[in-house]
Amino acid sequence: MATRLNPYLSFRDNARDAITFYESVFGGELTISTFGDYQASQDPAEADKVMHAMLVSGNGLVLMASDTPNGMPYNPGDNISVSLSGESSDEAELRGYWEKLSDGGTVAMPLEPAPWGDTFGMCTDKFGIAWLVNIAGAQQSGE
């Protein structure tokens, strides 16, 4: 699989409503994971918030979305970033992008193992653009 580049939309607490609306617009397959699915929030009230949603349309459009935890800043108008993602076989390429994008910028979350089994990082480049990099974990046999 090749590296994918796509928009990533952030919401305070209505990502599920937004991404299901976009599913009605574009069609496709929608997957949603909550913070509770991965015990990724210390606040039990956030368990049903969307940690990650991905809509893949039949014609190849990809849109991702998530809710913003209460402990993180949320500024409407600044709530879009760019996602780079790929398989473990793309790791060298994705790490190279990460190093260049984060150089001179601000790292919000280092590129390191994440609770869902992938390697993930968040940074803002020196021009103020937010980037998310996700390297899929090695697939286990039988999957």
What is the C-alpha separation between 135 and 143, in angstroms, rounded? 17
DSSP conformational letter for 46: G
For a pLDDT cut of 70, what percent of the chain falls above it? Answer: 96
Instruction: Give residue 1's pLDDT.
Output: 64
What is the C-alpha separation between 43 and 39, in angstroms, rounded? 9
Instruction: Give residue 142's pLDDT.
Output: 42
* Domain locations along the chain: 4-135
pLDDT band of residue 117 (cuts 50, 70, 90) is very high
Topology classification of domain 4-135: 2,3-Dihydroxybiphenyl 1,2-Dioxygenase; domain 1 (3.10.180)
Q: Which residue has the higher pLDDT, 57 or 41?
A: 57
Q: Residue 49 CB: number of other CB atoms within 10 A?
A: 23
pLDDT band of residue 143 (cuts 50, 70, 90) is very low
* Burial annotation 84-110 (CB, 10 A radius, 16+ → b, else e): bbbbeebeeebeebbeebbeebeeeee
pTM above 0.95, yes or no: no
